[in-house]
Structure 1
Amino acid sequence: MKISARNQLQGVVHFLDEGTIDTSVYVRLQSGYTLVSIITNEAVADLKLEMGDDVIVFFKSSSVLIMTDISLGISARNKFQGNIKKIKHAEVTAQIVVDIGNNEKIVSTITQDAVELLELQTDKNVSAIIKATDVMIAK
């Protein structure tokens, strides 16, 4: 399978929390972090997801927020602390590569204004934030 999403991480399903319509799928990443994806119960059944399954989680770089105050509380389910490894500048946007551990990287696309406002630079510690509903799963 090929897909255009910049973020494609491998992991293992370690918990399924089924609700009336949706299931929260907890995926242990290679970095040691747990990523949560909220998908429909129908999608869980279609994928035949079970605990212990190897999966790929993916999400667009434009769905990743960057925060410099790593102690700030936020309602998004996925908050990964890491270190900026690379910033690629364009006219309006910038691509930020954050290493979250074990050589696992999350890519974020934000505006140049945000880069300047947050005073982002390589080797700066940041948090990468992803809403659970923005994360898709492939098996």
Structure 2
Amino acid sequence: MKVSARNSLKGIVKTVTIGAVNAEISIEISDGVEITSIITKSSAEALGLKEGSEAYAVIKASDVILAID
């Protein structure tokens, strides 16, 4: 797999919640560290995502904004 995004984090799928249109997928990238993504239902099905399978969280963003109270 080659992608132009600089942040590609390999992990294990922890949860898959399929809705009518979208799916919520959580991937554990390190002990106790998870990333959650909302993708289309059809994409989740095409990728065959299921709990326990390996997957990559690929992050492509031009800005990361930080804030404090």
TM-score, scaled relative to structure 2: 0.89
Distance 1:121 1:134, change over 3 A: farther
- RMSD after superposition: 1.3
**Residue of structure 2 aligned with 1:94, choices 23, 26, 48:** 23
Distance 1:122 1:134, change over 3 A: farther
* Higher relative contact order, structure no. (Cα contacts within 8 Å, ≥ 6 residues apart): 2
Matched, 1:75 2:8: no
CA distance in 2 between partners of 1:133 and 1:91 (Å): 30
Q: Given that residues 88 and 94 in structure 1 are in contact (C-alpha distance below 8 angstroms), is that contact kept between their aligned partners in structure 2? A: yes
Identity %: 35
CA distance in 1 between partners of 2:36 and 2:17 (Å): 11
> Which of the two has higher C-alpha Rg?
1
Instruction: Write out per-residue CA displacement over residues 88-131 of structure 1, whole angstroms, 9 at most, x where no aligned residue.
Output: 11100000000000210000100110111111100010000111
State the partner residue of 1:113: 42
Unaligned runs of 5+ in 1: 1-71
Deviation at 1:134, TM superposition (A): 4.7
Q: What SS does the corresponding residue of 1:113 show, helix, strand or coil?
A: helix
Distance 1:93 1:134, change over 3 A: farther
Unaligned runs of 5+ in 2: none
**Residue of structure 1 aligned with 2:52, choices 111, 123, 135:** 123
CA distance in 1 between partners of 2:64 and 2:51 (Å): 26
1:16-55 counterparts in 2 under 5 A? none
In the alignment, residue 101 of structure 1 is paired with which amino acid? S
In the alignment, residue 17 of structure 2 is paired with which amino acid? K
Q: Given that residues 77 and 132 in structure 1 are in contact (C-alpha distance below 8 angstroms), is that contact kept between their aligned partners in structure 2? A: no
In the alignment, residue 114 of structure 1 is paired with which amino acid? S
In the alignment, residue 137 of structure 1 is paired with which amino acid? L
